[in-house]
Amino acid sequence: MTASRIVPDPRTVEPLPLGVNLIHIGPQKTGSTAIQGVMHHAREQLAELGVVYPGPTMRPLAAGAEIGFSVPRGKAAARPGAWDRLVAQVAQPGDRRVCISHEAFGRATRAQVDRIVGELGGERPHVLAVLRRYDSYLPSQWQQRVKAGELRSYDDWLRVVLEGSRGDYAWRNVWMPHDTVGLVRRWGERVGRENITLLVGDDADRTLLPDVFERLLGLPGGSLHGESGNGANRSLSYPETELLRSTMAYFAEQELPDEMAYRLLHRGMTSALVKSPYPDGERRIPPLPDWAHDRVVELSEARIAGLREAGVRILGDLENLRVAPRGPGDGQQADEVETISMVTAQRAVQGLVKGAMWKPPTAAAGQVPSAAGAAASPASPTPPVGLSARVRRRLRRR
């Protein structure tokens, strides 16, 4: 065991050497979308400052799909060759720095890690991952999975990820990237642990991530504090999440084709909700129930102990990842959602209409059916009969 090197103030970290390929692996729900959006819109300015952010998209979804990362069910796959085009863009950086960012890389298997590092890492790969405290991450991740098609309730999903096994995709989706000790082990085998940087995130400090990216990439202060454009990925409120989940359950009961569900839900309803301001007064996803909180306390203790001896560079204080035990009466129960606001209902309906009108890119634009491309995201378990009706009845009460 080798003690990790702690940098107490992340904003003092030294820039990476010229010629380094920085591989940012997320993971999901640690601010990746926001920083990707800023870098995407600042691509030309970054090039002038000696940083390559390969394009043309915000993150290399199509390239990732070609090496086995999933795409939304029903989504058309991009024309073949995206991975090769990405590799060509980051080859031979010379005296420039390269940044490749894709939160799906946090879920990479050893075989995928080998390919990512071997073909994107260049001669001097360096890996960056951002860490988030488990009790704030899990509620956010559940609503994110609902956006992606998860039909299980908050409590049922937590049971799977905290009491289940790696045989369930939901468990792997959480712990492949967020079992940070295991993450370090997989990537460290390929790049060496001295070439891994872990940033302890801070939900209350929105400038920490761009500041650290600026430092690592040798950019002037403020370079990555611009607008993320459509890169925003705000969390849904609890009522929004339950409305989306019940709608998806109804579509599943009706056996809607994947392509149609993708248009109506992903391109339509979900997009309309996420791109709208957070609805005034609506509840956020509830904190973890007591049984889940107790388990997360144990997991966070093991995580911190393992990372102290992981032999990597850590930016920030590991104690900020510790989840404190609750005192008597501190717990909260996630009440059922019984009403939604008129604003949320209007946005959802408008989104469904826009989704119905949305037309996918034509074959001439290089699109191919998803069946010919990457694997689609695993489907959620078949919804219990009447799930959507039960949720809709609760939403109509009062």
pLDDT in tens, 261-282: 999 999 999 999 999 999 999 9
Same domain flag for 223 and 238: no
Same domain flag for 249 and 304: no
pLDDT given for residue 373 in this prediction: 39
Cis peptide before 60 (omega within 30 of 0): no
Q: Supply the pTM of this predicted model.
A: 0.89
Same domain flag for 63 and 180: yes
281-336 per-position pLDDT tens digit = 999 999 999 999 999 999 999 999 999 999 999 999 999 999 999 987 666 667 78
Instruction: pLDDT tens for the chain, 398 residues: list them.
Output: 799 999 999 999 999 999 999 999 999 999 999 999 999 999 999 999 999 999 899 999 999 999 999 877 777 666 789 999 999 999 877 889 999 999 999 999 999 999 999 999 999 999 999 999 999 999 999 999 999 999 999 999 999 999 988 889 999 999 999 999 999 999 999 999 999 999 999 999 999 999 999 999 999 999 999 876 554 578 999 999 999 999 999 999 999 999 999 999 999 999 999 999 999 999 999 999 999 999 999 999 999 999 999 999 999 999 999 999 998 766 666 778 888 999 999 999 999 999 999 987 654 333 433 333 345 566 555 554 454 555 445 444 44
Amino acid at 384: P
Same domain flag for 173 and 133: yes
Residue 305 inside a domain? The answer is: yes
Same domain flag for 228 and 98: yes
Here the CATH number for the domain that contains residue 304 is 3.40.50.300
Residue 80 inside a domain? The answer is: yes
Instruction: Give the bridge partners for 21, in sequence order.
Output: 98, 125
Residue 11 inside a domain? The answer is: yes
Exposed e or buried b per residue across 258-295, where buried means at least 16 C-beta atoms within 10 angstroms of its C-beta? beebbbbbbbbbbbbbbebeebeebeebebbeeebbeb
Residue 210 inside a domain? The answer is: yes
* Cβ pair 234, 274 in contact under 8 A: yes
Residue 369 inside a domain? The answer is: no
CA-based torsion, 276, 281, 286, 287: positive or negative: positive
Same domain flag for 15 and 146: yes
- Tally the domains of the chain: 2
Same domain flag for 178 and 304: yes
Q: Domain span at residue 45?
A: 1-233+290-328
pLDDT given for residue 370 in this prediction: 36
Same domain flag for 181 and 141: yes
CA distance 338 to 35: 36
**Beta strands at 313-315 and 125-131: parallel, antiparallel or unpaired:** unpaired
362-391 per-position pLDDT tens digit = 543 334 333 333 455 665 555 544 545 554
CA distance 184 to 304: 13
Same domain flag for 5 and 109: yes
Same domain flag for 306 and 395: no
Write the DSSP symbol of residue 310: B
pLDDT given for residue 95 in this prediction: 85
Same domain flag for 354 and 273: yes
